[in-house]
Amino acid sequence: MSRYSPARRPSVPQRTGEAGKCAALAYAGRVVTRPSAQYSVVLRLEIDESPGAVTRLHDAIEACEGKVVSNDVVSAEHGRSVRDVVVDLGGVEHQQAIRDLLEAFEDVRVLGMTDRTFALHHGGKLTTEPAAPLVTRDDLAMAYTPGVARVCEAINKDKAKAFDYTIKRNTVAVVSDGTAVLGLGDIGPEAAMPVMEGKAVLFKEFAGVDAFPICLDTKDPDEIVHIVKMMAPTFGGINLEDISAPRCFEIEDRLKAELDIPVFHDDQHGTAIVTLAALYNALKIVDKRIEDLRVLCVGLGAAGVAVTKILMSAGVRDVIGCDTKGALSTTRPDYLDGSMNGMKRWYAEHSNPNKLLGTPSDVIDDIDLFIGLSGPGVIEAKELARMAPNAMVFAMSNPDPEVKPEEAAPYVRIMATGRSDYPNQINNVLAFPGIFRGALDVRARQITEKMKLAAARAIADAVPADRLREDFIIPSAFDREVAPAVAAAVAQEADRERSSRGDLDDFEAPGGPSGIGGGAGGPVTPALTPKS
């Protein structure tokens, strides 16, 4: 039953005017998203302090599907009070409906309404702060001229010293052209900035990595590669973000070949790593071997291709990939006539061993794992009944998964999504902060496939064996032990592969040897320092 069906709603007193419109709006089912913080507002209200006034206010808001979070008195005098009421709502239309409702009450005056999400973004989410005090003349002489000249000369003689004496040792560029931003698509560089700022905040909060958003006003792969190469001396790593396929594959491959610092397209590899981590733990529950799995991946953009590649690296041998034209195969007409793009040609040549053709529904028989990276409605829940026993479904489209968990429940053993309001959220924040932390700590030149596999294992191992169950196969995004564990695994693998600048034993954390990162309760430490 829908959350907004009449049988589930509280009764609403008969009202006229805008209050009645609000009730009608909710009853008509136009408010289709459950209340959440993303549409939360602060309503500044002047209220008549008559008996029961506040209770009636709360009842009215909740009758129209709002969730009252808090109600704080700002001032009170002469029988009236000014209050800030925080309400979680289900959309922009819902915000306006609640305001209209309250303005219809004779004993309530709406003084203002603030969208809390926009308020959080006001002025941006990042600042730049000095790492050393600048108080005295001596401080100035060392931090800037004339003392800084000696540091410049040292780096000029040995460019590797930039890792020791500049922000390069702990700084990542978050680079985007704004062509594939979340579910918004091609919205341009300015509109992409809030997302890139948010990414930088996550880097800092979860791994102590300083990241800076770089949004480029070009879609030309040659220009993007050139610009990133020119600014690379400032950074210890490059995180590519929200660049549309298939250009993202070319851009990443070229930058990886031409730069000596890690280049990582998170939309591809972050998603892939966390997906594999979830699968590692799911297999322990369903008691299947990874090499025996039959996998169906629906959606072959950046994430879909990367997920398939990492699953193959981990041992999966039978994957079918579906795009908007159906299952990829070397027998499909667009492969045969040469019109299929290069990445999909590679995919067709390395997957679908039985050469199946058709829609996801046509090829889902006996599939062990369904991976959705496309959008809602690509398959009906009832079709999942044709999957193999103990079926697993990772429906990761946001905000609406390919199939709703409630509808899939009768047919699958394990369900995961990309949403935080369901169990088993597959969230990239479990991967990219720790990956770059580990890579920066050993000054890695690249992030290899083995480093990605090591990261996936570390994420999976963060779920204790005695707590592993169908609705807990992946750690929380707020588990502070994940990033240090991932960082350690990545750094150790880089050391084994000799892709770092020196041995792991050559570096130490500030304040003492070894130990990458911190632990539960706080972000990991800054980058490791070369031992003297």
Residue pair 456/71 in contact (Cβ under 8 Å)? The answer is no
Q: What are phi and psi of 52, to 5 degrees?
A: 80, 5
The token pair that represents 194 in the structure block: 């809030």
Distance CA 98, CA 21 (A): 10
Catalytic-role residue among 4, 39, 168, 199: 199
Say if CB 436 and CB 262 are below 8 A apart: yes
Select which of 144, 159, 325, 382 is catalytic: 144
Strand pairing of 67-77 and 80-89? antiparallel
3-state secondary structure of 404: coil
- With a CB cutoff of 8 Å and minimum separation 6, the contacts of 478 are none
Report phi then psi at 89, rounded to 5: -130, 180
Q: 144 catalytic, yes or no?
A: yes
Residue in the block written with tokens 């579910």: 183
Starting from the edge strand earliest in sequence, which strands make up the sheet with 67-77, in order? 67-77, 80-89, 36-48, 108-115
Rg (CA), the chain: 26
CA 514 to chain centre: 30
Residue partners of 196: CB distance under 8 A and separation at least 6: 174, 176, 213, 214, 215, 241, 242
Q: Measured between alpha carbons, how far is 463 from 460 in angstroms, rounded to an integer?
A: 6
Q: Concatenated DSSP letters for 425-458? A: B--GGGTHHHHHHHHHHTT-S---HHHHHHHHHH
Residue 367, SS3 per DSSP: coil
Distance CA 351, CA 335 (A): 13
Distance CA 458, CA 487 (A): 9
CA distance 318 to 231: 41
Q: Are strands 414-417 and 512-513 parallel, antiparallel or unpaired?
A: unpaired
* Buried-exposed string 59-69: b where 16+ CB fall within 10 A, e elsewhere: bbbbbbbbbbe
The sign of the torsion formed by the CA atoms of 187, 242, 459, 413 equals positive
Cα distance between residue 323 and residue 332, in whole Å:
12
Distances (CA, A) of 24 to 21, 96, 254: 5, 14, 56
Catalytic residues: 144, 199
